[in-house]
Structure 1
Amino acid sequence: MDALTSPTWFIDSESPEVATFVERTLNRKDAALGPVADDPTERAVALFLAVRDGIRYDPYDVSREPGDYRASAIAGGSPNWCVPKAVLLTAAARHVGIPARLGFADVRNHLTSEKLSDTMGTDLFAWHGYSELLLGERWFKVSSAFNIELCRKVGTKVLDFDGTDDALMHPYDEAGHRHMEYVEQRGSYDDLPLDAIFADFDELYGDFGSGSPAGDDVFG
C-alpha cells in the first residue's frame, strides 16, 4: 500500500506544484462553501472537480516529452487530455494520503465523426486513462477527462463523482444515442506506462498516433 501513497517520477505527488494545486483546492476561498473537510471522500470529490473543470479537455496538443506527463507539469492548468489529467488527480490524491493509482481501458466511441474514424481507421480509442482511488475499503474508478463546459456543449452526460460510485464514461449521451463502450481493461498501474501507451498508438494509428490529436479524441 505504501507504493500507492508515495511519489513516483510521473506521479510526483510531493512536488511544490502539486502541493500548491492541492492547497488551493482544499482551502477554497468561496465563503459559502468554506474549506474542504478532512474527510477523505470530501477531499477526493473536491480534487476530482478541480482536475475535471480546472483543466480543460483538449486532445489536440499531445506531447511526446516525458517531462510533460509529470503531475508537477500538469498542475499548471493548461488544457490537456485524459491521461495527464488522470496523472494529476492520482498525484493530488496521494498528496493527501488517499491511496491512488492509474487505470486504463480501450473504449469504442460511437459518436466519433466519420472523418476522424476514417483517418484513424478505427473507432477504437486505446489507453483511455482514469484514476483509481481507495476510499474506505472500496476502489473507485474515476475519469476526470471531460470538463463540464465541454459536456454541455456537445450534449454528453457530465462525468460526476460523489464518493459513492464510479465515475466512468457514459454509455449514452443526453439524447439517448450510444456513446462510450468499454471494450478492454488494460489494468491498474502504480506509475504511468508512457512508453507502452505511445508504442500502441504508433502501432494502431500509424502517423496519426505520433502527433495530434490524441488517441482518445472522443469528440473529433
Structure 2
Amino acid sequence: MDYLSATYFFDYESDTIQNLIKEYNNTSLSKKEIAKLVYLKVRDSWRYNPYSISFSKENYRASELSKKTKGHCVDKSIILIACLRGLGIPARIHLAKVKNHIGVARLIEKFGSNELTNHGMVNAHIEGKWVKLSPAFNASICKMFNVSPLDFDGENDSILQEFNKDGNLFMEYVEDYSYFDDVPIEFMRNNAKEHYPHIFDTGSGQTEFVL
C-alpha cells in the first residue's frame, strides 16, 4: 500500500478537496511545512463534535465530510488524510480508545462512559518516517476546557493532551487499535456495539446516531 492513492473515502480528486488544498499546490514549501499548515487548517476549520456517529459508508467520504461545519475525530482525520494524499504526502488512519477526564458529564450521559472508542488520528509519512497527529480538538474547544491546542511540528508525534493548563488530567490513551489501509467501517461498527450497546438497542437498525 502506498498510502498516496485516492480511494472511495479519501477522494482527494473531488472538487471540494481540491479547493481545500489548492493554496498549497505549486509552492516552494517543503512537504513538512505543507503538512504543518494543512494540519492547522483541518484542526481549526471544523468544530469538534463527538455526538454524531455514523456507520454508513457514504457519510465517511472526505468530500462529503468537508462540506460540514463540524465533525468528530474520525471525520477530521479522514479530511486531513485526503488533503495530505492530495498533496503527495502518504497518510493513513489510526484508531484507538481514549478516556477523557474533563467536561465528561455529557459524554457519560450519552455514552454511559467517559471512554471514547474509535478515536481517530492520522499517521503521515514525512521526511522518511511515520508520525502520528490528531486534528480532533479545534482551538476554540481547547480554550473552553483550558487546554493548550495540539500543535504539530512536522517531525514529532502530536496526539495527546495529557493535562490541562492547571495540571489536571485531561486525556489518556487506553487501547491502540493500530492503523488501517482504509476507513474500517465494519470494525468501527462492531467496536461501537461492544462498548455502547445501548445505542443499538432501539431495534430500528439505524446506521446514524445523533446523541
Taking structure 2 as the reference length, what is the TM-score of the superposition?
0.88
8 Å CA contact retained: 1:104, 1:129: yes
Question: Deviation of residue 92 (structure 1)?
Answer: 0.6
Question: Deviation of residue 36 (structure 1)?
Answer: 5.5
Q: Which runs of 5+ in 2 are unaligned?
A: 201-207
AA of the residue aligned to 2:62? A
Hey, what's the Cα distance between the residues in 1 that align with 2:105 and 2:56? 30
How well do the aligned residues superpose, as a CA RMSD in angstroms?
A: 2.0
Deviations 1:52-88 (A, max 9, x none): 0111112233334321210111222421111010001
2:20 — aligned with what?
Answer: 21
Q: What secondary structure, in the 3-state scheme, does the structure 2 residue paired with 1:141 have?
A: strand
Hey, what's the Cα distance between the residues in 2 that align with 1:15 and 1:91? 10
Which of residues 144, 148, 151 in structure 1 aligns to 2:139? 148
Q: What secondary structure, in the 3-state scheme, does the structure 2 residue paired with 1:127 have?
A: strand
More moved, 123-132 vs 141-150: 123-132
Which of residues 82, 86, 91 in structure 2 aligns to 1:95? 86
2:204 — aligned with what?
Answer: none
More moved, 38-47 vs 52-61: 52-61
Which of residues 33, 39, 43 in structure 1 aligns to 2:30? 39
Q: Which runs of 5+ in 1 are unaligned?
A: 28-34, 214-220
Identity across the alignment (%)? 33
Q: Report how many aligned residue pairs link the two structures.
A: 204
Question: What aligned pairs does 1:61-210 form with structure 2 within 5 A after superposition?
Answer: 61-114=52-105, 116-117=107-108, 119-208=110-199
Q: What secondary structure, in the 3-state scheme, does the structure 1 residue paired with 2:94 have?
A: strand
Question: Deviation of residue 112 (structure 1)?
Answer: 4.9
8 Å CA contact retained: 1:36, 1:42: no
Question: Deviation of residue 113 (structure 1)?
Answer: 2.7
Q: Which has the higher strand share?
A: 2
